[in-house]
Each structure stands twice: as C-alpha cells, then as structure tokens.
Amino acid sequence: MPTLFLHFFLFLFTTTVTNLIPVVHSNYIEAQQQSLLHFKKSLDVTHSNPTKLITWNSSTDCCSWLGVTCSTNGRVVGLDLSGEHFSNRNIDNSSSLFQLQHLQSLNLAYNNFLGSSIPSAIEKLANLRYLNLSEAFFFWANSH
Ligand SMILES: *[C@@H]1O[C@H](CO)[C@@H](O)[C@H](O)[C@H]1NC(C)=O
Ligand SMILES: *[C@@H]1O[C@H](CO)[C@@H](O)[C@H](O)[C@H]1NC(C)=O
Ligand SMILES: *[C@@H]1O[C@H](CO)[C@@H](O)[C@H](O)[C@H]1NC(C)=O
C-alpha cells in the first residue's frame, strides 16, 4: 500500500514539474523580449538610420532579431548594436539591459551615450565576457 502511494505522489510530482518547466521557460523568453523592447524604446534614433534595431518588434521572436544572439535554449547571450548610431542620455542602473542575466557578449560601439557614466548595475551581468564600448562616448570615471 505505501509503495502505491509513493508511486502516486511520484507520478503527481513528475507530471506537475514537467508541465511547469515550459511555462517558466516561456515566461523567461517573454521577459527578455520585453527587456530588449524596453531598451530599444530608450534609444533615440532620430538622427541615425539603424539597420538592426528596425528588426526589433514584438511580432517576431527576439532570437531572430538582427544583433541578438541566443543560446540553443533561447537565452539571449549576445547583443551587438555596434554602429547603429543611436543616442542615449539616460542609461542608468535601472536599464532593462541589465536584466539580461545570460548575456556573455555586449557590443555598443559606435553609438552615442553622450558622456553618461557606465552604470554600476553592469556588474549584474555576471556572465559577461566581452564588452565593447569603443567610440560609445561613455564617461570613464577615474575611481582608481
Ligand atoms: C517586424 O519585423 C519583421 C522582421 O524584420 C518584419 O518583417 C515586420 O514587417 C515587422 N513588423 C512590424 C509591425 O514592424
Ligand atoms: C548606480 O548605483 C550605485 C549604487 O548602487 C550608485 O553609486 C551609482 O551612482 C549609480 N550609477 C548610475 C549611473 O546610476
Ligand atoms: C569593437 O567593435 C567594433 C565594431 O563592431 C569593432 O570594429 C572592433 O574591432 C571591436 N573591438 C574589439 C577590441 O573587439
């Protein structure tokens, strides 16, 4: 009798967990898409002619957008927005960019951050291995 119960609970547990995983997964995919769209909204492209950002819209999966690289399980691991010539004065610790926890590579070269400081929230990107801020007009605070 107790083994029957155990099997029943195991069955219940495994079906619940396997049903839950795709939900958690798709919530994450949805959240990172929103983070990217939110970041795009903060960029001023009035004096530029972006070639990658124009493909960023909510009707397609963000993994198919130009400049976005995803892992096989749909995590955004790379962002290359170099040469889009956007400007952004207001990047701060609350930027949705810093919610992309799986980001390994970030290239913002050849854009104009108009002398903003690099937000310390960039430290939240614990997996970041490549960061390119060439000609991005960040202000480098001399803290050392
Ligand atoms: C969204 O992007 C796709 C792919 O670049 C494009 O074909 C489509 O027209 C865009 N949709 C809107 C509403 O901008
Ligand atoms: C980010 O937050 C830190 C404290 O956590 C603060 O010292 C810093 O000035 C903030 N930087 C920006 C650019 O908002
Ligand atoms: C930084 O990015 C620019 C534009 O993509 C590229 O030309 C340059 O080689 C990169 N620099 C490094 C050190 O990767």
3-state secondary structure of 117: strand
pTM, 2 dp: 0.82
Q: What is the Å distance from ligand 1's center to 25 Cα?
A: 24
User: In Å, what is the CA distance from 112 to each residue of 31, 81, 131, 137, 139?
Assistant: 26, 12, 16, 5, 11
User: Encoding tokens for residue 34?
Assistant: 């929103």
User: Per residue in 66-107, pLDDT tens?
Assistant: 999 999 999 999 999 999 999 998 899 999 999 999 999 999
Residue 13's pLDDT band, with cuts at 50, 70 and 90, is low
Give residue 16's pLDDT: 65
* pLDDT > 50? residue 9: yes
Quick check: CB of 92 below 6 Å from ligand 2?
yes
Write down the residue that tokens 């390994």 correspond to.
104
Closest atom of ligand 1 to CA, residue 59: 1
User: Per residue in 24-53, pLDDT tens?
Assistant: 778 888 999 999 999 999 999 998 999 999
Give residue 142's pLDDT: 55
User: Per residue in 101-132, pLDDT tens?
Assistant: 999 999 999 999 999 999 999 999 999 999 99
Q: Show me where the domains of the chain are located.
A: 2-132
CATH homologous superfamily, domain 2-132: Ribonuclease Inhibitor (3.80.10.10)
